[in-house]
Structures are given as C-alpha cells and as structure tokens.
C-alpha cells in the first residue's frame, strides 16, 4: 500500500463525508447520513480500507467512539490538542470542532492569511485564521435549513420550501417571500459578519472562501467570497493526514485521541 494512501472522514450532525487520499489528491467522496453510520456500516468501511490510516473530524461523540474502536491501530482524531502544525489562539482549544480545525488547515494550505472559511452546514461556521497564521476563533450562526425548517415547524401556514435563487427582491408568493428572506437575508448577514471580522482583525485584506451544503447558492451573490470549495474540510483533513504520516513513527504513535 502506498505510504500516502489513507482515508479522511468528516462527520457533521447531519451528514458524513468519506474519501480516500491517493497520490496527494482526494478520491471519490461518499456522502452518508450521520444517523446511518451504525456499527455494521463502519465495520464494512473498515474491511474496505483494511490497514489504511484514518484521519477523522467528528462533532458526534457517539460516532467518534465507534471509529476509535474499529480503527484503533492507526487513527488521527483532529482536535484542539492534537499536533496540527499551526498555532491556536483560543482560550479552550478542546471546545473547537475538528471540522473547524480542518478548515483552518486547508485555509493555510491554499491561501495567504488572514483567511475566513464560511462553512454552510447544520450551523454556518466562520472559521478565522489571522495574519500570523493562527486559528483565532470564529462565529457560529444558524444554518439556512434550520432557519427555514423552523419557520415551517413553528407556524400554521408557512410551507417548507426548497431553497433557490429568488427571482426578485420582493416576494410575490409565500414561497418566494421565504426564499427572499432566506437567501438575500443570509447574504446580508454574511456581509455584516465579514465586515465585523475585518474590523476586529484590523485589516482590509481578508480572503473569504465558502464550503458546505448551501455555499454555491449563497456565495453566488456575494462578491466578498473569493471562491467555493465543496470539499474544503476533507482537503484540510488530507493536509493534516499527510503532515501526520510524514512524522517519524515514534513521534506520531498509533493514534491521537481527544481526552476529556
């Protein structure tokens, strides 16, 4: 097996993404509902990738424990106290999700800091790397689906809608009005938060990149966002995995796991 072949896994609250890294690139990305990551599926994954190291970012502790048991021989669990190769300027590093740290690793690999990664998931995270190349914090906002689903669930007449680009700025139907509020409103929120980040960092030079489920839709109308990278978190895990596997075996050990 080539030394640079390993598996990267990003487990969010809603979905997991799994990919094999070969020849310094990502293979086909498998997407699966997090609820379906049961032990039989993960056992089949272990058989498919027998012997391959695994680099894991997970925000679902129950799934993390199954991975830790099945891939115990060579597992790199990304967390705030793991050797990541960049500084963390954060009061409690253990509180930082592994996906956010993977985003920071990708940001430093592909762009010159300061960089902010806007990750559109169940929540929308803004992961900030300052000018010195340190992860320094961010912002967590409700995700677009959470907002629109909540409207439907908490009202008698508002429907659940499929999020699409609105045709105008003033909705001419209930569905269109919800889309305007969600898409245009979300863009306005992002503009305001990016401006606040620039002010706090004390710079006009800030690269903003987007990833995650609704990134393409929202970023389409945001000149402030330089580009959309759908699998940026997995790319960050790839970067961290290559760095980890390049360490002397005695230095990296069999695995790194979060400790309470």
- The H or E element that residue 139 is part of is strand 135-142
- The H or E element that residue 108 is part of is helix 98-110
Write the class of the CATH domain 112-229: alpha beta
pLDDT truncated to tens, each residue of the chain (260 aa)? 444 489 999 999 889 999 999 876 898 899 999 999 999 999 998 888 888 899 999 999 999 999 888 887 789 999 999 999 999 999 999 999 999 999 999 999 999 999 999 999 889 999 999 999 999 999 999 988 888 888 888 898 888 888 899 999 999 999 999 999 999 999 999 999 999 999 999 999 999 999 998 899 999 989 999 999 999 999 999 999 999 988 765 455 444 543 32
Q: Could you count the other beta carbons within 10 Å of the beta carbon of residue 249?
A: 8
The helix, strand and coil proportions of the chain, stated in percent and rounded to the nearest 5, come to 40, 25, 35
Distance of CA 75 to the CA centre of its chain: 19
Q: What's the confidence (pLDDT) of residue 32?
A: 93
- List the domain boundaries for the chain: 6-81+234-256, 112-229
Q: What's the confidence (pLDDT) of residue 252?
A: 53
CA distances 32 to 18, 35, 80, 241, Å, are: 8, 8, 25, 22
Which of 99, 119, 145, 149 is catalytic? The answer is 99
Query: Based on the number of CB atoms within 10 Å of its own CB, is 223 exposed (0-12), middle (13-18) or buried (19 or more)?
Result: exposed
Write the class of the CATH domain 6-81+234-256: alpha beta
The pTM for the full model equals 0.89
Can 204 be counted among the known catalytic residues? Answer: no
Q: Which residues contact 248 (CB under 8 A, 6 or more apart)?
A: none
């Amino acid at each position: 097996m080539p030394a640079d072949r390993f598996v990267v896994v990003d487990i969010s609250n809603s979905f997991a993404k799994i990919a094999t890294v070969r020849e310094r690139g990502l293979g086909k990305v498998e997407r699966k509902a997090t609820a379906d990551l049961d032990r039989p599926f993960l056992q089949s994954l272990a058989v498919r990738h027998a012997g391959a190291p695994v680099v894991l970012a997970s925000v679902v502790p129950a799934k993390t424990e199954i991975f830790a048991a099945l891939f115990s021989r060579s597992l790199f669990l990304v967390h705030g106290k793991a050797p990541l190769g960049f500084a963390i300027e954060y009061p409690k590093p253990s509180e930082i999700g592994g996906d956010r740290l993977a985003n920071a690793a990708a940001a430093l690999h592909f762009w010159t800091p300061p960089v902010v990664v806007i990750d559109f998931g169940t929540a929308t995270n803004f992961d900030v790397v300052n000018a010195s190349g340190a992860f320094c914090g961010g912002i967590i906002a409700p995700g677009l689906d959470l907002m629109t689903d909540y409207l439907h669930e908490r009202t008698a007449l508002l429907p659940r809608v499929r999020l699409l680009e609105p045709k105008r700025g003033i909705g001419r139907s209930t569905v269109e009005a919800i889309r305007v509020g969600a898409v245009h409103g979300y863009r306005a929120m992002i503009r305001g938060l990016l401006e606040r980040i620039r002010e706090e960092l004390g710079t006009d030079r800030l690269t903003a990149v987007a990833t995650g489920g609704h990134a393409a839709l929202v970023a389409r109308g945001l000149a402030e966002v330089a580009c959309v990278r759908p699998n940026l978190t997995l790319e960050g895990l790839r970067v961290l995995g290559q760095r980890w596997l390049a360490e002397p075996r005695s230095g990296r050990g069999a695995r790194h796991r979060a400790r309470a």
